[in-house]
């Protein structure tokens, strides 16, 4: 029971992810089968839909934008600050900070991660492991969106009695860029509003908010 409580945040979001995926699969299947019936084509089952380019592109276009959002948030908050926001670090701490501040090498603590203690490439890699992981997932999911989107778009073109596109054509196609940018803009909006709203607004008990009584001008203070 205590283990569940200690990992509750990850478990709850994992559960929400699964429920949302199930919902997306069922409603998405209903959508593609509705289109198929309208055109007098064969409807498909859930298994075929889950391995279809149509399902994959819808998943990947959202994943890539989420990981881009976190990648940019992680990197840009190294150098950019926002006065009064709990999402920002203190105004005088911009940059990569000192080894002492980052608790690496001889300033490491007894229970610091081992790669933070050792010198050389392992510490360099570990010092950027969060950003690198987000970058890898972003590039992977954006590539997945491109490949699955190409197949899905060409399937629709053929249904409309049009010639399918090559990779180069799809790289400039409105379908690829509207899927990409409609997700990017919403992520950038969400981050910008979170950074600014949290200067003036509070959620008691949330670490994403400043304490309720904390002045608006306090920066880098989390509840």
Q: What residues line the site for other proteins (CB under 8 A)? A: 39-42, 44, 51-57, 59-60, 132-133, 136-137, 140-141, 143-144, 147-148, 150-152, 154-155, 158-164
Instruction: Encode 36-64: b = buried (16+ Cβ within 10 Å), e = exposed.
Output: eeeeeeeeeeeeebeebbbbbbbbbbbbb
Minimum distance from CB of 183 to other proteins (Å)? 17
Name the residue nearer to other proteins (CB basis): 1 or 9.
9
**CA–CA distance, 52 with 32 (Å, rounded to integer):** 11
Minimum distance from CB of 130 to other proteins (Å)? 9
**CA–CA distance, 223 with 221 (Å, rounded to integer):** 7
**CA–CA distance, 57 with 28 (Å, rounded to integer):** 12
Task: Report helix, strand or coil for 85.
Answer: coil
- Other residues' Cβ atoms within 10 Å of the Cβ of residue 67: 21
Minimum distance from CB of 221 to other proteins (Å)? 29
Minimum distance from CB of 47 to other proteins (Å)? 11
Pick from 87, 82, 81: nearest CA to 221: 87
Name the residue nearer to other proteins (CB basis): 47 or 95.
47
H-only helix segments in 53-161 = 53-79, 99-102, 114-117, 121-127, 129-159
Name the residue nearer to other proteins (CB basis): 55 or 176.
55
Minimum distance from CB of 143 to other proteins (Å)? 7
Name the residue nearer to other proteins (CB basis): 88 or 138.
138
Q: What end-to-end distance do the CA atoms of the chain give, in Å?
A: 26
Minimum distance from CB of 177 to other proteins (Å)? 16
Name the residue nearer to other proteins (CB basis): 174 or 215.
174
Name the residue nearer to other proteins (CB basis): 102 or 133.
133
- Other residues' Cβ atoms within 10 Å of the Cβ of residue 110: 5
């Amino acid at each position: 029971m205590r283990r569940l409580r200690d990992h509750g945040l990850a478990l709850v979001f994992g559960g929400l992810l699964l429920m949302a995926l199930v919902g997306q699969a069922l409603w998405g299947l209903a959508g593609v089968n509705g289109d198929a019936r309208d055109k007098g084509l064969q409807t498909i089952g859930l298994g075929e839909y889950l391995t279809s380019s149509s399902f994959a592109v819808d998943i990947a276009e959202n994943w890539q934008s989420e990981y881009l959002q976190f990648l940019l948030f992680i990197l840009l908050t190294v150098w950019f600050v926002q006065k009064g926001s709990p999402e920002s670090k203190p105004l005088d701490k911009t940059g990569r900070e000192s080894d002492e501040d980052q608790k690496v090498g001889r300033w490491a603590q007894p229970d610091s991660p081992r790669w933070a203690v050792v010198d050389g490439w392992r510490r360099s890699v570990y010092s950027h492991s969060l950003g690198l992981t987000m970058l890898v997932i972003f590039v992977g999911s954006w590539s997945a969106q491109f490949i699955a989107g190409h197949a899905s778009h060409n399937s629709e073109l053929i249904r409309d009695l049009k010639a399918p596109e090559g990779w180069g054509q799809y790289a400039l196609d409105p379908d690829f860029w509207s899927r990409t940018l409609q997700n990017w803009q919403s992520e950038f909006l969400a981050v910008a509003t979170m950074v600014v709203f949290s200067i003036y607004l509070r959620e008691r008990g949330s670490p994403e908010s400043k304490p309720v009584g904390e002045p608006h001008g306090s920066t880098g203070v989390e509840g």
